[in-house]
Amino acid sequence: MELDKDADEVVKELGKTVAKEAWEKKNRLLPLIKSLGRFFRPSPVPESQGSETPPEPPRGILILGPGGTGKTTLARFLSGDVNVLIDPPGYYVPSFSVESVPLLDAPGVELVVMPGQGYRLQPEFGKLTSELVRGAYRGLILAVDYGYHAIESEWSREHKLYHGNKKEFIANLLVSQRQEELDLLDKLIPSLNAITQRMWLLVVVLKQDLWSSQQATVKRHYEDGAWGVKMNQVVIAHNSNLLCQRTAYASLHIQNYTTRGGRDTLKKNTAGYDATRQRQSLVELFQVIDALREWEDQV
């Protein structure tokens, strides 16, 4: 009995420490979230002095990635529309067309988010790659998640990869969706190789709460594994003054991996991945974004 009481005390103390740490991180994070708007807002376009030609519109930021990786969630977070520290996660609602997410504190400036599902992205692809090459965007964010893309099926058995065994289905799904990430990168590489205007490229590996027990494997994959090898070739093809590439790992929500509408749980989020870890991942994301800001400032 005495032992139970002691254990209870220890758990309570631990709970207090975690809550305090999470709170301190939140207080550090809120001003950082506010300052994001300043980065995503491009420098003001100089007034045209007496010239007849109107000023060039500001170069935008494009967000791309396979369906269900978290692009809309990321755009709404970066724009200030959603505060992931306060607002609860929602179930997956696929985007049907190109979304423009305005920055709350800079009306007129938008993050352009492409729909991810292949058949919805395909009609936009030609236009998008020619815009990339001609320098319409000052930054490109590639959203990936080590294959944990949200799926459109409501039940596992409705998915084309389901052949009667749920465990096998999930394993095949993750492999196949990681391949989708690589296929999209392959399709983009010719345009990335052809850029002629300064641009940064941020790879955000989302859903850390789902894969954090494989942290080392995931980092290897994106840094020098199947994805990293392709990306590094793009980077070395350019002068570092022209292209700046960074990778960040983050969790915007802590949410089990489910089929659409939360009907069927495919994987629970990693035990031990708590609010403190999530906030730490967001601090790291901000540090990476800050490095991009510094690169933009060095002209």
Ligand X SMILES: Nc1nc2c(ncn2[C@@H]2O[C@H](COP(=O)(O)OP(=O)(O)OP(=O)(O)O)[C@@H](O)[C@H]2O)c(=O)[nH]1
Residue pair 28/109 in contact (Cβ under 8 Å)? The answer is no
Cα 150 from Cα 30, distance rounded (Å): 28
**114-127 exposure pattern, b = at least 16 Cβ within 10 A, e = fewer:** bbbbeebbeeebee
Is 270 near Mg ion (CB under 5 A)?
no
Least Å from the CB of residue 24 to ligand X: 21
Helix, strand, or coil (residue 45)? coil
Say which residues have a Cβ less than 8 Å from residue 197's Cβ, sequence separation at least 6: 134, 135, 242
| Binders in 223-262 for ligand X, by CB under 6 A | 251-253, 255
Say which residues have a Cβ less than 8 Å from residue 196's Cβ, sequence separation at least 6: 133, 135, 242
Sequence-separated contacts (24+) of 81-85 with Cβ below 8 Å = 83/33, 84/252, 84/253, 84/282, 85/26, 85/29, 85/30, 85/33, 85/279
Partner in contact with 259, chosen from ligand X, Mg ion, none, beta carbon below 5 to 8 Å by kind: none
Partner in contact with 276, chosen from Mg ion, ligand X, none, beta carbon below 5 to 8 Å by kind: none
| Binders in 37-66 for ligand X, by CB under 6 A | 65
Give the contact letters, 44-83, x = binds to Mg ion (CB under 5 A), - = no. Answer: ----------------------------x-----------
Is 259 near Mg ion (CB under 5 A)?
no
Is 147 near ligand X (CB under 6 A)?
no
Least Å from the CB of residue 94 to Mg ion: 6
Number of residues interacting with ligand X: please give it, by CB under 6 A: 29
Is 279 near ligand X (CB under 6 A)?
no
Q: Which helix (H) or strand (E) element contains residue 2?
A: helix 2-40
Listed ranges 13-21, 112-120, 162-170, 217-225: which one lies at the site for ligand X (CB under 6 A): 112-120
Give the contact letters, 86-105, x = binds to Mg ion (CB under 5 A), - = no. Answer: ---------x----------
Cα 210 from Cα 101, distance rounded (Å): 26
Least Å from the CB of residue 169 to ligand X: 19
Least Å from the CB of residue 6 to ligand X: 35
Number of H helices, E strands in the chain: 8, 8
Partner in contact with 251, chosen from Mg ion, ligand X, none, beta carbon below 5 to 8 Å by kind: ligand X
The residues of the shown chain that bind ligand X, judged by CB under 6 A, are 65, 67-73, 89-95, 115-117, 143, 150, 206-207, 209-210, 251-253, 255, 269
Name the site residues for Mg ion (rule: CB under 5 A). 72, 95
